[in-house]
Amino acid sequence: MALASVTAIGAAVGEHGGANADTAPRSPSPSEAMTVDRQRLLPGTPQETAYFEIDSGTDGPTGFVLGGVHGDEVNGYRAAEDIVGWELERGSLVVVPWANKIAVERNTRHGPDGDLNRKFPADAEPETDLARAIWELLREYDPAVVLDLHRSRGIYRTHNKWVGQTIFPTAVDSAPADAESAIAYINGVIPRTMWFHRFTKGGRLDGANPMVVHKAGADLDTPGFIVELTDFLVDLDTQIRWTKLIAEQLLARYGLERRSPEIDT
C-alpha cells in the first residue's frame, strides 16, 4: 500500500476563494492510502488551476475526470473534489476539479475566453490556451476512460433544449453499453415517484461538436462520457451524490473500482 504523498493540497482553498462560500472550491481530502500528487495547469497565469493524480500503487488503467468546465455547475466540481479522496483497488485517476477556475470562482458558465466546452474541435487544435493545456494533459495520460461532469437546468427530452439526467457516451467500443449499465444503476436510486428524473442515454459523441469528450472519442478513440445532472427539483447534495454514483459506476466498468464504494441512500 502506497503512503500518501500529498503536495500542498491545503493551498487549494486559499487559491480558489470564490465570492460565494457555498459555491467556492473546497480543498479535497485525499486518502492517505493513495499517492496523490498535486500539479498545476497553466502555472503562473490567471487561469492556473490544480489537477490531482491519484495512484493506487497497483498497476491498472488510468481514468480522467473533469469538473468545473462550466463554472456554475457546482455538482461537477464538488463531485470531482470528493473523487480526489477516493481509494482505488488498482490503477490511477487524474482529476481536474476546477478546469475553468475563473468561471468557477465567478460561479458563471463561461470563463474569460467564453464557453470552454466549445473550444475542442475534432481533428484540429483546441482554440484557447486553457483548452490546449487540458487537451495536452489528456493526451499525456492517454486514459482508458474520460468523464466530464456537468449539470443542466432542465431534463433531456422533457424540457425544451435542456440536457439534464443524461449520460452521453462516445461512439467508442463499449461506451454506449457502459452508459446504459450506469443508467440502470442510478435509476434504481432515484425515488420511484420522480418519473421525469429517470436518466436516459444521450446521443453518441462522435466529434460533431467542439466538446472535450467529443474530441477524445473522435481524435483519440477514447471511451468517454458527459454526465449531465439537473438542478430541477434536486437539491445540491443529491446532485453531488448522484454524480459520484454515476462516476463510480462508469469508472468501475474500466477497471477502476473503489475500495469503499459510495454508500447510497
Partner 1 sequence: MTERTPSHSQPDDISPDWSVLTGPRVWVVFGAITVPFAVGVTDTRLMTPLAAPGYALMSAMTIVGSYLTPQYTFWLYWIPFCVCSYVISVVCAAISRN
Between CA 85 and CA 69 the distance in angstroms is 20
Q: Does 191 bind partner 1 (CB under 8 A)?
A: yes
Which of 22, 46, 123, 192 binds partner 1 (CB under 8 A)? It is: 192
Which of 32, 61, 141, 162 binds partner 1 (CB under 8 A)? It is: 162
Q: Does 263 bind partner 1 (CB under 8 A)?
A: no
For residue 151, the cross-strand partners are 229
Q: Does 108 bind partner 1 (CB under 8 A)?
A: no
Residue 238, all three cell numbers: 443529491
**Span from 35-43, 81-89, 108-116, 150-158 in contact with partner 1 (CB under 8 A):** 150-158
**Span from 2-10, 141-149, 151-159, 176-184 in contact with partner 1 (CB under 8 A):** 151-159
Closest listed residue to residue 151, CA positions, set 64, 204, 227: 227
Residue 184, all three cell numbers: 440502470
Give Cβ neighbours of residue 63 (< 8 Å, ≥ 6 apart).
Answer: 91, 92, 93, 94, 143, 144, 145, 146, 147, 251, 254, 256
If one counts every other C-beta atom within 10 angstroms of the C-beta of residue 260, the result is: 9
Dihedral sign, Cα of residue 9, residue 109, residue 154, residue 145: negative
Binding string, residues 195-234; x marks residues near partner 1 by CB under 8 A: -x-----------------------------------xxx
Q: How many chain residues touch partner 1 (CB under 8 A)?
A: 19
Residues in region 6-45 near partner 1 by CB under 8 A: none
- Of 139 and 153, nearer to partner 1 (C-beta) is 153
Residues in region 65-94 near partner 1 by CB under 8 A: none
Q: Does 161 bind partner 1 (CB under 8 A)?
A: yes
**Span from 87-95, 154-162, 178-186, 201-209 in contact with partner 1 (CB under 8 A):** 154-162
User: Considering the complex, what minimum distance in angstroms separates the CB of residue 188 from partner 1?
Assistant: 14
Cβ atoms 18, 24 nearer than 8 A: yes
User: Considering the complex, what minimum distance in angstroms separates the CB of residue 85 from partner 1?
Assistant: 22
Strands (E), the chain: 35-41, 49-55, 62-66, 92-96, 145-152, 166-169, 200-201, 224-230
Q: Does 109 bind partner 1 (CB under 8 A)?
A: no
Closest listed residue to residue 59, CA positions, set 225, 255, 212: 255
* List of residues contacting partner 1 (CB under 8 A): 153-154, 158-162, 191-194, 196, 232-235, 237-238, 265
